[in-house]
């Protein structure tokens, strides 16, 4: 684990997203609360919150954090359920892993509850979408920016890189990423 003892406590926030891909009939069942195992989204929300609180038990080098807030939201599309998790804390290290863990476990719960209705289920695009707080400041992924496509860093970040090239797909404010 990294030494975070000398760092100042600051307000930290992170948001992660992923999608559970499924047949349109399964999406309709989720929306209508017609999955035989029960309330898919309510159960997935609780699972995601519990997972965020246990992140340091699951990921060996994560520091235990006192989370101030964990929010799990869902958007139902024609052939998917999008999961969005947001974690917040006032601490010496970021909450990115807590947001990512919450998102992943909420998606796994959707998968578990729907698997008897749909063998085509897939979990896709688990991604950190934004973070704020700490020495590195704020960072936000731009839409379409997965795997280096879609946006730019700032001029200061580009100048700091050898050759001045700017990676795409990421947008920074207030400094480089952590």
Domains of the chain: 10-131 (3.30.70.640), 136-178 (no CATH)
| pLDDT per residue of the chain (178 residues) written in tens, 0 to 9 | 787 777 788 999 999 999 999 999 999 999 999 999 999 999 999 999 999 999 999 999 999 999 999 999 999 999 999 999 999 999 988 999 999 999 999 999 999 999 999 999 999 999 999 999 988 889 999 887 655 443 333 333 333 333 433 333 434 344 444 4
Cα torsion 130, 91, 135, 133: sign: positive
pLDDT at 145: 60
Q: What is the rounded (10 degree) CA torsion for 141, 142, 143, 145?
A: -70
pLDDT at 160: 36
The pTM of the full predicted model, rounded to 2 decimals, is 0.80
Please say if 112 is a catalytic residue.
Answer: yes
pLDDT at 168: 36
pLDDT at 8: 83
pLDDT at 61: 92
Q: The sheet that has 122-132: what strands, in order across it?
A: 67-76, 80-91, 10-21, 122-132, 138-141, 170-173
pLDDT at 146: 53
Active-site annotation holder among 3, 57, 78, 112: 112
pLDDT at 159: 34
Strand-pair partners of 132: 13
- What token pair was written down for 42? 């309510």
């Amino acid at each position: 684990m990294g030494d975070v003892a000398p760092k100042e406590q600051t307000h930290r926030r992170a948001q992660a997203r992923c999608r559970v891909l499924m047949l349109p009939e399964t999406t309709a069942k989720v929306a209508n609360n017609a999955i035989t195992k029960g309330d898919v989204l309510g159960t997935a929300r609780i699972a995601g919150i519990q997972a965020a609180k246990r992140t340091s038990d699951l990921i060996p080098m994560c520091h235990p954090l006192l989370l101030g807030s964990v929010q799990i939201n869902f958007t139902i599309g024609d052939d998917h359920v999008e999961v969005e998790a947001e974690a917040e804390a006032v601490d010496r290290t970021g909450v990115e892993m807590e947001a990512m863990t919450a998102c992943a476990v909420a998606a796994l719960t959707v998968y578990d509850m729907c698997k008897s209705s749909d063998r085509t289920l897939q979990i896709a695009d688990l991604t950190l979408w934004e973070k704020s707080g700490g020495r590195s400041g704020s960072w936000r992924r731009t839409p379409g920016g997965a795997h280096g496509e879609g946006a730019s860093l700032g001029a200061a970040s580009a100048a700091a890189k050898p050759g001045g090239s700017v990676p795409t797909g990421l947008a920074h404010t207030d400094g480089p990423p952590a």
